Amino acid sequence: GMDVNCGGYIQTHGVSAYQQGKITGEDIDRALRNLFAIRMRLGLFNGNPKYNRYGNIRADQVCKKEHQDLALQAAQDGIVLLKNDAGALPLSKSKVSSVAVIGPNGNNASLLLGNYFGPPCISVTPFQALQGYVKDATFVQGCNAAVCNVSNIGEAVHAASSADYVVLFMGLDQNQEREEVDRLELGLPGMQESLVNKVADAAKKPVILVLLCGGPVDVTFAKNNPKIGAIVWAGYPGQAGGIAIAQVLFGEHNPGGRLPVTWYPKEFTAVPMTDMRMRADPSTGYPGRTYRFYKGKTVYNFGYGLSYSKYS
């Protein structure tokens, strides 16, 4: 049923499947016709490709303003406000005298890109973007990486207690979630949760937690902690993600994103990955899958997202 395989599966098993009659010569001919028709439509057989329709797309065209504006809009539109107690957000430029940016995802632009990307036209970390809003901005990594098996919580706590406001950039990275890598748990990895809680306890005001990750994470601890005033999920927002996050935090863009997946609690990992049933089965305690059929408790529901606006 497919014409091309991204990987080595067909190369490894195709001849055997043909010999066993599981695919036929007609199947192969159909796939070849489709694939080569596309290549012909692209002009790949019309002489030197550089002189054809798509042969002169240069880097300056890729990075022109309208494309960079679109990257920023995509980042803005994808940001989801999950928690905002007592109007913790947006921040006011005139009232924020100092900010401590803490966390392994706060000052590394490559972590904004996620999986499958080309070289970005710009490289601005969340910390660098926030420096444009607050002159007195400090950064403490807090963890060696998202895996957070090495931490410097003491330094992070000191920075948090010294600043007017604290923004934590936590979550996952491509060592935790990418193609061919399965996550074994749904919580924040390693010592991240401990780092967040201790920083929140030390801060003068409720802290802001920004999550950079593709899949869901169980942040019930943060959802229920009054010292964590706001939670923002930014996904992997791309090259303009740092700028978009700063604009959301300071109210220059009103977050309107909604969660594209259900966020399950940690115990959902007890469901075997190979059990593909969609509907819940009360007789066995099977909770089901996806927003349509899942009957268990959630951290946040599919489609959830707050706004700075009040509307009816």
Write the CATH number for 82: 3.40.50.1700
pLDDT digits (tens, 9 = 90+) for 232-282: 999 999 999 999 999 999 999 999 999 999 999 999 999 998 999 999 999
45 to each of 31, 37, 41, 51, 54, how far by Cα in Å?
18, 11, 9, 12, 13
Q: Do residues 231 and 80 touch, judged by C-beta distance below 8 A?
A: no
Stated length of the chain: 312
**Region 32-57 average pLDDT:** 88
Does 245 lie in the same domain as 99?
Answer: yes
Q: Which among 221, 218, 196 has a CA at the least distance from the CA of 106? A: 196
**Region 23-45 average pLDDT:** 93
What is the rounded distance in angstroms from the CA atom of residue 32 to the CA atom of residue 14? 14
Domain boundary among 231, 250, 269: 250
**Region 103-129 average pLDDT:** 95
The total number of structural domains in the chain stands at 2
What is the pLDDT at residue 180? 86
What is the pLDDT at residue 54? 80
What is the rounded distance in angstroms from the CA atom of residue 229 to the CA atom of residue 231? 7
What is the pLDDT at residue 312? 74
> What kind and span of H or E run contains 75?
helix 65-78
Give the CB-side neighbour count of residue 191, counting CA atoms within 13 A. Answer: 18
Helices (H), the chain: 9-19, 25-41, 59-62, 65-78, 126-131, 153-162, 192-202, 220-223, 241-249, 290-293
pTM of the predicted model as reported, rounded to 2 decimal places: 0.89
Does 155 lie in the same domain as 31?
Answer: no
Domain boundary among 221, 250, 279: 250
The larger pLDDT score, comparing residue 55 to residue 293, is at 293
Residues 6+ positions from 271 with CB-CB distance below 8 Å: 286, 287
pLDDT band for position 55 (cuts 50, 70, 90): confident
The whole domain housing 16 covers 8-51
Does 224 lie in the same domain as 92?
Answer: yes
What is the rounded distance in angstroms from the CA atom of residue 275 to the CA atom of residue 271? 7
pLDDT digits (tens, 9 = 90+) for 154-183: 999 999 999 999 999 999 999 999 988 989
Q: What percent of the chain has pLDDT over 70?
A: 100
Residue 283: strand, helix, or coil: coil
**Region 197-223 average pLDDT:** 98
pLDDT band for position 311 (cuts 50, 70, 90): confident
**Region 31-38 average pLDDT:** 95
What is the pLDDT at residue 49? 79
Does 18 lie in the same domain as 82?
Answer: no
pLDDT band for position 48 (cuts 50, 70, 90): confident
pLDDT digits (tens, 9 = 90+) for 10-20: 899 999 999 99
